[in-house]
Amino acid sequence: MNVTLENLGACKKQLRIDIEVSQVNKAFEDVTKEFAKHAKLPGFRPGKAPLDMIVKKHEADILEEAKKRIYTEAFRQAVKDQGLDVITDPDVEEVLFSREAETKVIFTVEVAPSFELPDYRGLPANRESTVVTDEDVDKALKALADRKASYEKVDRAAQLGDFLVVNYEGSCEGKPITDFNPTARGLTSQKNFWLELGKDKFIPGFAEQLDGAKAGEKRTVTVDFPADFVLAEVQGKKGSFDIEVVEVKERSVPVFDDAFAQSFKAESLHQLREGVRGDLQNEKNLTVNRSVRSQVVDALMERVQFDLPESAVSAETRSVVYNIVAENQQRGVAKELIDQQKEEIYAAAQKTATGRVKASFLFSKIATKEGIKVSNEELNNRVLLMSRHYRMTPEKMVKELQKGSGVREVVGQILHEKVVDFLQQHAKISDVASA
Q: What pLDDT is attached to residue 191?
A: 96
Residues 285 and 292: their CA atoms lie apart, in Å, by: 11
Are residues 414 and 356 part of one domain? yes
Are residues 294 and 180 part of one domain? no
Are residues 413 and 283 part of one domain? yes
In a domain, 246, yes or no: yes
Are residues 283 and 246 part of one domain? no
Residues 62 and 27: their CA atoms lie apart, in Å, by: 10
| Domain's final residue, options 225, 252, 279 | 252
In a domain, 121, yes or no: no
Are residues 234 and 101 part of one domain? no
Are residues 279 and 222 part of one domain? no
Are residues 275 and 418 part of one domain? yes
Closest by Cα among 35, 30, 36, 27 to 72: 27
Closest by Cα among 195, 189, 169, 184 to 231: 184
pTM beyond 0.85: the answer is no
Are residues 325 and 219 part of one domain? no
Are residues 159 and 95 part of one domain? no
In a domain, 19, yes or no: yes
CATH code for the domain in which residue 210 is found: 3.10.50.40
- DSSP classification of residue 112: P
Taking only Cα atoms into account, the Rg of the chain, rounded to an integer number of angstroms, comes to: 34
Are residues 332 and 238 part of one domain? no
Are residues 273 and 224 part of one domain? no
Residues 269 and 69: their CA atoms lie apart, in Å, by: 76
Cβ 112 vs Cβ 87: under 8 Å: yes
CATH code for the domain in which residue 331 is found: 1.10.3120.10
Give me the domain span that covers residue 304. Answer: 269-432
| Domain's final residue, options 252, 283, 318 | 252
Residues of the chain with pLDDT below 50 are: none
Are residues 206 and 89 part of one domain? no
Closest by Cα among 408, 425, 411 to 373: 411
In a domain, 87, yes or no: yes
In a domain, 351, yes or no: yes
In a domain, 126, yes or no: no
CATH code for the domain in which residue 19 is found: 3.30.70.1050
Instruction: State the total domains in the chain.
Output: 3
Q: What pLDDT is attached to residue 304?
A: 96
Cβ 197 vs Cβ 159: under 8 Å: yes
Q: What pLDDT is attached to residue 37?
A: 77
In a domain, 138, yes or no: no
In a domain, 176, yes or no: yes
| Domain's final residue, options 220, 252, 284 | 252
